[in-house]
Amino acid sequence: WFSLPQDNFHTLCHCTNHVFRVMQQLERQLKCLAFQNPGPQVADFNPETREQKKKACMSQMKQGLFNKRKTTKKYDKHGRLLCNNIDLCDCLEKNCLGCFYPCPKCNSSKCGPECRCNRKWVYDTIETEGGNVISVLPFSVPD
């Protein structure tokens, strides 16, 4: 045969290893791109049936949104209860003139941590951390 100088031999080995690694990478990439059997869902695909199912699903979603009860406001823009026009403090005491720091939004001392103006909920009880009820909403507020 023929003999290669030592440096050329190492260069040839290095090139061969590099080509081998590149070939391995290509094989891996081709494997990822190869067709994989998706199963009967694609084989039995019917666009008309798919469209019917889609319409039924959309109809159910619209019905769900329509039936979803809209939360109504409990307080008007001035912080008075809409059901009876009473200006009730968030401490739930009927005769309280306001026992909180002035509200940063409306300046009322009857707002607790959240402003009462256009609020969609009411406090129904005031309790201690131990669960003892201190105060109860003095009248019923409709949902």
Residue 65, helix vs strand vs coil: helix
Say if CB 110 and CB 100 are below 8 A apart. yes
Supply the pTM of this predicted model. Answer: 0.51
Q: What is the pLDDT of residues 33-46, one digit of tens each?
A: 776 776 776 777 78
More confident residue, 39 or 100: 100
User: What residue segments make up the domains of the chain, in order of their start?
Assistant: 71-143
